């Protein structure tokens, strides 16, 4: 009997609470959340065997000088579109899609590296530029907001489901002047990652312009790392001329794994983490699509009240 009463009470609350369906859209700017770290080889930990952003000098004395900067493939200008459903004045659910419009490019320059062999060294430079190809992230979240006639404060917390986290890597190799004729080789690779769920949270304010429209602004935090899965060679040019990929002396398809066996075929390597964490600020607008008014108690107008007060007449 108690369970039945509790269910009836919860149903009454659900039916009496106003529910609202809304659409929202916005744009923002995201900054890298975490820097890169090193392990004791020393080689940049994120982006093995080279860093994402910075430089390394390789002098003949074998003392390596690094300048590593923070990086995140979700940094840049993202757009947000989404649908939300407030089941009450204070609690709701929301599904957003974050789409990278203009993502930051990261370049790591390896100076004075040997492009030849130990017996016949050829000093040169390797410049590696990487950027995400318009990453798409699906974000389901729980929303909690304050009361207020016009201004509301809200927070949301949820998961991040990566739909597209492909990264384009352009690697340019060129020998230094004085080491023979200068030859420039340009390789373009596409890197795919394994699926891995991230985490996000945000806090913001929403201002009601009218019954149908609101503007909002929020600070957001996203934490996500994607492990590399495979890397494929897309194009190869030498001194500006296209070269057939069949002439490439190494594998054009590389697999990454947590249990990799690395041998002379160079077809498998240990996986490494691609950074996608960021801290950002977003602004936008939301539109109320529908609103369900509270049910349960019937409200009478003053005229209806007066009408009900009339004495009953027997016919």
**Domain ranges for the chain:** 18-295
pLDDT exceeds 90 at position 283: yes
- Span 206-255, pLDDT tens digits: 999 998 999 999 999 999 999 999 999 999 999 999 999 999 999 999 99
Residues 242-275: tens digit of each pLDDT: 999 999 999 999 999 888 788 888 899 888 888 8
**pTM score, whole prediction:** 0.77
pLDDT of residue 297: 46
Range 124-151 average pLDDT: 93
What pLDDT is attached to residue 230? 95
pLDDT value at residue 35:
58
- Per residue, the 3-state secondary structure of the chain, as one string, reads CHHHHHHHHHHHHHHHCCEEEEEEEEEEEEEECCCCCEECCCEECCCCCCCCCEEEECCCCCCCEEEECCCCCCCEEEEEEEEEEECCCCEEEEEEEEEEEEECCEEEEEEEEECCCCCCCCEEEEEEEEEECCCEEEEEEEEEECCCCCEEEEEEEEEEEEEECCEEEEEEEEECCCCCCCCEEEEEEEEEECCCCEEEEEEEEEEECCCCEEEEEEEEEEECEEEEEEEEEEEEEECCEECCHHHCCCCCEEEEECCCCCCCCCCEEECCEEECCEEEEEEEEEEEEEEECCCCCCCCCHHHHHHHCCCCCCC
For the chain, percent of residues with pLDDT exceeding 70: 77
pLDDT at 131 over 60: yes
* pLDDT average, residue stretch 285-302: 63
Least confident of 38-42, 82-86, 142-146: 38-42
pLDDT at 45: 45
Mean pLDDT of the chain: 83
Q: How confident is the model at residue 74 (pLDDT cuts 50, 70, 90)?
A: very high
What's the pLDDT score for residue 189?
Answer: 95
| Mean pLDDT for the stretch of residues 149-154 | 93
Q: Which residue has the higher pLDDT, 64 or 288?
A: 288
Bigger pLDDT: 190 or 178?
A: 190
For the ranges 39-53, 71-85, 148-162, which has the lowest average pLDDT? 39-53
Domain 18-295 has CATH 2.40.160.20: yes
- pLDDT over 50 at 95, yes or no: yes
pLDDT at 279: 96
Q: What is the mean pLDDT of residues 30-40?
A: 68
Residue 296's pLDDT is 46
């Amino acid at each position: 009997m108690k369970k039945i009463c509790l269910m009836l009470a919860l149903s009454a609350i659900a039916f009496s609470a106003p529910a609202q369906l809304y659409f929202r859209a916005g744009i923002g700017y995201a900054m890298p959340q975490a820097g890169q770290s090193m392990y004791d080889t020393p080689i940049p930990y994120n982006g093995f065997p080279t860093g994402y952003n910075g430089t390394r000098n390789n002098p003949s004395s074998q003392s390596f000088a690094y300048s590593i900067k923070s990086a995140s493939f979700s940094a840049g200008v993202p757009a947000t579109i989404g649908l939300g459903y407030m089941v009450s004045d204070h609690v709701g659910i929301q599904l957003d899609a974050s789409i990278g419009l203009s993502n930051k490019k990261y370049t790591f320059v390896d100076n004075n590296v040997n492009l030849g062999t130990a017996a016949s060294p050829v000093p040169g430079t390797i410049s590696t530029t990487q950027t995400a190809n318009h990453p798409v992230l699906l974000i389901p979240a729980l929303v909690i907001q304050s009361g207020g006639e016009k201004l509301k404060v809200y927070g949301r917390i949820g998961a991040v489901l990566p739909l597209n986290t492909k990264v384009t890597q352009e690697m340019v190799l060129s020998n230094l002047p004085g080491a023979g004729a200068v030859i420039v080789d340009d390789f373009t690779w596409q890197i795919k990652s394994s699926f891995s769920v991230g985490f996000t949270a945000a806090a913001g304010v929403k201002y009601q312009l009218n019954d149908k429209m609101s503007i909002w602004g929020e600070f957001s935090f996203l934490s996500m790392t994607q492990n590399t899965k495979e890397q494929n060679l897309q194009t190869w040019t030498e001194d500006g001329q296209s070269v057939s990929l069949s002439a490439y002396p190494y594998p054009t398809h590389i697999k990454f794994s947590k249990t990799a066996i690395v041998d002379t075929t160079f077809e498998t390597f240990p996986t490494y983490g691609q950074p996608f964490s960021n801290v950002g600020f977003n602004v936008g607008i939301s539109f109320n699509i529908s609103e369900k008014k509270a049910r349960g108690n019937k409200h009478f107008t003053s005229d209806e009240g007066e009408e009900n007060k009339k004495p009953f007449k027997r016919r």
